[in-house]
């Protein structure tokens, strides 16, 4: 049985269609599952399930305490997604899945990634926008851990102290699901967590297009090339072009997603580079890709 690709999304945001379509283009034989509401139950190539089927998300809402600059409902739902995913996998007997946020564009067959033997695959220990879930029991334990941070006095005090430390330096920050991913990864067997943000065989999953890190920069974001070898970015530290298996268009970068629907890599005779200022692909003919 092939691994399904799962999305969890409220509403019918404009960018959702591009993420769903790109996932299907790069994984033609995989089930694309959208756990959403009636407003987004309209894509013929998607298996749709209603988010209201989750019971534990409602139970978690009763213990959740808001500690974030973002709105209560937004941040609550970001955390509830883990409970929604857990309930879905259990009720539908799904042993493994690939999950991605709806602002991710996927260019890789997900089963090419060798994550066997791991409970989770995350981009580092700070982001779960691109994730492999290989063990439902581990996902259940993660959800229990999140709940305990709000229901156990000592853990709740630690969470409140962490919140104060965060907003002292990042006023627009706070406690979010990424905090729980980080805490969980730091307190579990590292051999059970697969890091998708590590470059392997010249390829990697993107943490965030807005994070330049060691890559070429273009208008404040990663400089992205479209070539017959795939979607590439140049790593300046390695002096090497790296193939990106997925791009994460976090925040305001969502507006660019429509321009990144996969064309045929094979037909790309000359490499293209994306210009964020004009929202156009520019052809370049004198670039050597190592």
32, 47 contact by CB (below 8 A): yes
Maximum CA pair distance of the chain? 62
pLDDT at 190: 86
pLDDT at 129: 93
Q: How far is CA 169 from the centre of its chain?
A: 25
Per-residue pLDDT of the chain (290 residues; tens, 9 = 90+): 689 999 999 999 999 999 999 999 999 999 999 999 999 999 999 999 999 999 999 999 999 999 999 999 999 999 999 999 999 999 999 999 999 999 999 999 999 999 999 999 999 877 889 999 999 999 999 999 999 999 999 999 999 999 999 999 999 999 999 999 999 988 888 899 999 999 999 999 999 999 999 999 999 999 999 999 999 999 999 999 999 999 999 999 999 999 999 777 767 888 999 999 999 999 987 666 65
pLDDT at 142: 96
Give the integer Cα–Cα distance in Å for 269 and 264: 10
pLDDT at 148: 97
Structure-block tokens of residue 175: 């406690």
DSSP 183-243: HHHHTS-GGGEEETTS-BTTEEE-S-TT--TTB-EETTEE--EEETTEEEEEETTTTEEEE
Q: How many CB atoms lie within 10 A of CB 227?
A: 19
pLDDT at 267: 72
pLDDT at 128: 87
Give the integer Cα–Cα distance in Å for 59 and 55: 7
pLDDT at 254: 98
Shortest CA distance to 121 belongs to which of 261, 18, 3?
Answer: 3
DSSP 125-156: TTEEEEEEE--HHHHHHHHHHHHHHHHSHHHH
Structural domains of the chain, ranges and CATH numbers in brackets: 5-195 (3.90.550), 203-283 (no CATH)
């Amino acid at each position: 049985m092939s691994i399904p690709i799962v999305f969890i999304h409220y509403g019918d945001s404009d960018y959702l269609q591009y993420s769903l379509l790109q996932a299907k283009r790069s994984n033609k034989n995989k089930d694309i599952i959208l756990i959403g509401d009636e407003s987004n139950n309209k894509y013929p190539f998607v298996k749709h399930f209603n988010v209201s089927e989750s019971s534990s998300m409602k139970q978690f809402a009763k213990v959740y305490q808001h500690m974030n600059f973002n709105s209560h409902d937004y941040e609550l739902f970001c955390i509830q997604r883990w409970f929604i995913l857990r309930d879905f996998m259990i009720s539908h007997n799904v042993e493994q899945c690939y999950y991605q946020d709806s602002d991710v564009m996927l260019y890789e067959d997900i089963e090419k990634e060798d994550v066997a033997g791991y409970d989770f695959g995350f981009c580092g220990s700070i982001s779960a926008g691109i994730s492999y879930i290989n063990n439902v029991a581990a996902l259940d334990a993660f959800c229990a851990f999140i709940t305990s941070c709000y229901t156990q006095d000592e853990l709740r005090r630690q969470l409140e102290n962490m919140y104060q430390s965060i907003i002292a330096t990042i006023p627009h920050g706070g406690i979010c699901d990424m905090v729980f991913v980080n805490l969980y990864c730091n307190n579990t067997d590292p051999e059970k967590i697969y890091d998708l943000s590590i470059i392997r065989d010249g390829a990697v999953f993107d943490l965030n297009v807005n994070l330049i890190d060691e890559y070429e920069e273009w208008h404040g974001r990663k400089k992205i090339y479209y070539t017959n070898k795939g979607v590439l970015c140049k790593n300046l530290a390695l002096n090497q072009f790296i193939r990106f298996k997925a791009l994460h268009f976090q925040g305001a970068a969502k507006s660019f997603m429509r321009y990144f629907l996969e064309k045929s890599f094979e037909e790309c005779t000359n490499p293209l580079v994306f210009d964020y200022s004009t929202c156009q692909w520019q052809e370049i003919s004198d670039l050597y890709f190592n």
